[in-house]
Amino acid sequence: MHRPGADPGDMQPADFLCDFCHTPWDGAFPMIEGHRGSLICGRCLSVAYTELVLLEPEQAEQELSCTMCLEKKTGPFWVSPSHESAQICLRCTKQSAGKLHSDPDWDWHKPTLGPANPRLQS
């Protein structure tokens, strides 16, 4: 998402916020862009990927609209724990993870169920 009040003609890195945790971008961590300026950071993507792809949670089948592709569909979704209106579908999670995984600019890899997994630390 773009920071409310940001000047569209003069966007700074900090004007780009992750839709899922609202962390402003500092240019030093990976961000993946969806439709209409929606964004997910690498850390949120790791959590989404872990929950949707690795853990395959049992989830009530509910129709939600994906923040990243704007499509309305029936689950599974990862819903941001801190911003419930931010939801990412399984397809976007896989696609974004694939893109970021093969992006040479970022040291980001698809998470595994190991001790380095941010979702499993806490």
Residue 41 engages Zn ion in binding (rule: CB under 5 A): yes
Query: Which among 50, 77, 47 has a CA at the least distance from the CA of 62?
Result: 77
> Which residue in 92, 107, 99, 109 sits closest to 48, CA to CA?
92
68 binds Zn ion (CB under 5 A): yes
Range 13-35 burial, b when 16+ CB lie within 10 A, else e: eebbbbbbbebebeeeebbbebe
Q: Least distance from C-beta 9 to Zn ion, angstroms?
A: 26
- Three-state secondary structure call for residue 43: helix
Residue 69 contacts Zn ion per CB under 5 A: yes
**What kind and span of H or E run contains 99?**
helix 90-101
Residue 6 lies near Zn ion (rule: CB under 5 A) = no
66 belongs to the binding site for Zn ion (CB under 5 A): yes
In this complex, which beta carbon is closest to Zn ion, that of residue 52 or of residue 68?
68
* Contact status: 20 vs Zn ion (CB under 5 A): yes
Q: Does 89 bind Zn ion (CB under 5 A)?
A: yes
Q: Write out the residues near Zn ion by the rule CB under 5 A.
A: 18, 20-21, 41, 44, 66, 68-69, 89, 92
